[in-house]
């Protein structure tokens, strides 16, 4: 049963707008040794776009819908009228599907297949590893790593490019990085995901790599944040830390003592960080002390566990199991709430404007990231999916599916499964009798006539394509 969390509206809230990460709902937290990569042609498949310009709204457009059979990985692509426009033979069991544009990443227990534009890339994986999707406004990457530490590979779903971080480090320094110990969950990336940084526990160094390049850079300590030409690292000393900012030539631009960082972002050439006790600091190039901007209210006994940017980098979502807050780049708290017991809080994606506060089976409200305003009550609801901008969510409450937005609530009734379109106005559902249909929600929040997808695979995993 979902709990009812306690809300604590911030006195510092200033006017502004709202979203969160529900790709995590369909994200593979499966486990999958990273072996070789095989590229092969996919005969006869290419996403066929509709004649129209696509259906838009809610921050996202779509033209086709991909339905993936989980047992075989077979793909059926249909248009808005439910007509089949293409099919692809399956290549094995699929546990999760990630989509961007017209490309799909089919994630299974033994391989990841990236499909699109008439070809595919297969990445063999092992059940003991983890796959973490990384979404940025114009990109989707999969960070693949061994559960107990080892190599990490980054796969670009748009280009098919693979970055083998361990191989690049070993090529540069074979004696030091003969057996790296990296974890996929600790990887940091720039706001456009063109650079990635990860700590190697075997050498106590940070490895930085870039897309389209075989060059690799090494820094001491742990990565906190990075941009396209800066990286901030942290070295813990007792109960404090030394935070340092470097440029691409490894020239130090600032070194300051701070409380231990929980995370942060690069803002121009500076670091905006949140410490584990909730302090918000700015570390500026050329300075010898960090400037404290504000304080996130952290409940007694709790610490900050995650700091994630959203609203195109203008807001940070700060959380720690029993609390969640939204702050701006000046350190002001725009929204904060607490939970009566620990919650696995959803991370936002960078271009959301709204966030469903909470996670797992416990949610509080739909909140505007710009202002901190509460837009809709989510108590008692479990969020299943969200529109591209995060301002419309698909939830399950007391066994009934609902679509909730600032416009109101639309009840879908009892269904076997449902997926929300990126526009927030389209739903693909499977009824309790097993029929898969496309249904539109109009401006008056009325449901349109269902469109049957006759050839839908059983228990299909659904993804909308541009």
Give residue 422's region: left, alpha or beta (phi > 0; psi -120 to 50): alpha
Q: What angle do CA 422, 423, 426 make, to 5 degrees?
A: 95
Q: Which residue has the higher pLDDT, 2 or 267?
A: 267
R_g (Cα) of the chain, nearest Å: 22
On the CB side of 167, how many CA atoms lie within 13 Å of its CA? Answer: 10
Q: What is the pLDDT of residue 40?
A: 36
On the CB side of 97, how many CA atoms lie within 13 Å of its CA? Answer: 26
- As a whole number, mean pLDDT of residues 26-49 equals 33
CA 57 to chain centre: 21
Q: How far apart are CA 30 and CA 108, in angstroms?
A: 8
Closest CA to 201 of 166, 248, 174, 252: 166
* Sequence-ordered list of residues with C-beta below 8 angstroms from that of 372, at least 6 positions apart, any chain: 9, 10, 13, 14, 16, 326, 333, 334, 335
| Percentage above 90 pLDDT, the chain | 80
Q: How far apart are CA 413 and CA 427, in angstroms?
A: 13
Q: How far apart are CA 100 and CA 108, in angstroms?
A: 18
The answer on pLDDT for 460 being more than 90 is: yes
- The per-residue pLDDT for range 309-341, each reduced to its tens digit, is 999 999 999 999 999 999 999 999 999 999 999
- The per-residue pLDDT for range 417-433, each reduced to its tens digit, is 999 999 999 999 999 99
Q: What is the pLDDT of residue 147?
A: 86
Q: What is the pLDDT of residue 402?
A: 97
Backbone angles phi, psi at 191, to 5 degrees: -65, -25
The answer on pLDDT for 62 being more than 90 is: yes
Give residue 178's region: left, alpha or beta (phi > 0; psi -120 to 50): alpha
Closest CA to 413 of 432, 426, 391: 432
Q: What is the pLDDT of residue 430?
A: 96
Buried/exposed 220-256: b ≥16 CB within 10 Å, e otherwise: ebbbbbbbeebbbbbeeeeeebebbbbeeeeeebbeb
Tell me the three state secondary structure of residue 168.
helix
pLDDT band at 58 (very low <50, low <70, confident <90, very high): low
Q: Which residue has the higher pLDDT, 26 or 206?
A: 206
């Amino acid at each position: 049963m979902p709990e009812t969390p306690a809300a604590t509206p911030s006195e510092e809230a200033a006017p502004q707008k709202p979203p969160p990460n529900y790709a995590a709902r369909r994200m593979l937290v499966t486990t999958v040794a990273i072996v070789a990569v095989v590229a092969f042609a996919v005969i006869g498949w290419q996403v066929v776009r509709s004649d129209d310009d696509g259906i838009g709204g809610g921050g996202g457009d779509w033209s086709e819908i991909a339905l993936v059979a989980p047992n075989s990985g077979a793909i059926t692509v249909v248009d808005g009228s439910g007509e089949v426009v293409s099919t692809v033979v399956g290549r094995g069991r699929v546990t999760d599907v990630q989509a961007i544009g017209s490309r799909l990443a089919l994630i299974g227990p033994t391989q990841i297949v990236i499909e699109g534009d008439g070809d595919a890339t297969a990445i063999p994986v092992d059940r003991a590893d983890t796959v973490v999707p990384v979404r940025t406004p114009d990109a989707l990457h999969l960070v693949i790593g061994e559960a107990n530490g080892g190599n990490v590979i980054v796969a670009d779903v748009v280009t098919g490019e693979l970055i083998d971080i361990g191989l690049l480090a070993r090529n540069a320094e074979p004696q030091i990085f003969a057996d790296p110990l990296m974890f996929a969950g600790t990887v940091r990336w720039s706001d456009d995901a063109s650079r990635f940084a990860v700590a190697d526990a075997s050498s106590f160094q940070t490895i930085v790599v870039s897309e389209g390049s075989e060059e690799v850079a090494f820094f001491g300590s742990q990565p906190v944040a990075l941009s396209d030409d800066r990286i901030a690292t942290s070295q813990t000393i007792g109960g404090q830390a030394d935070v340092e900012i470097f440029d691409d030539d490894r020239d130090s631009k600032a070194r300051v003592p701070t409380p231990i960082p929980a995370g942060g972002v690069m803002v121009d050439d500076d670091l905006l960080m949140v410490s584990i006790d909730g302090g918000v600091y700015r570390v500026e190039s050329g300075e010898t002390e960090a400037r404290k901007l504000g304080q996130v209210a952290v409940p007694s006994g709790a610490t900050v566990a995650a700091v994630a940017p959203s609203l195109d980098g203008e807001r940070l979502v700060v959380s720690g199991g029993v609390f969640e807050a939204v702050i701006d780049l000046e350190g002001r708290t725009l929204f904060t709430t607490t939970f009566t017991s620990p919650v696995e809080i959803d991370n936002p994606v960078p271009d959301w404007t709204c966030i469903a506060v909470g996670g797992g089976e416990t949610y509080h409200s739909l909140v505007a990231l710009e202002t901190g305003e509460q837009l809709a009550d989510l108590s008692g609801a479990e969020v299943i999916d969200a529109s591209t901008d995060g301002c419309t969510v698909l939830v399950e409450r007391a066994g009934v599916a609902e679509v909730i937005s600032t416009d109101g609530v639309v009840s879908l009734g009892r269904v076997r499964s449902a997926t929300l379109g990126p526009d927030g106005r389209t739903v693909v559902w499977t009824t309790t009798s097993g029929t898969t249909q496309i249904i539109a929600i109009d401006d008056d929040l009325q449901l349109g006539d269902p469109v049957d997808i006759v050839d839908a695979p059983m228990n299909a995993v659904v993804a909308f394509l541009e």
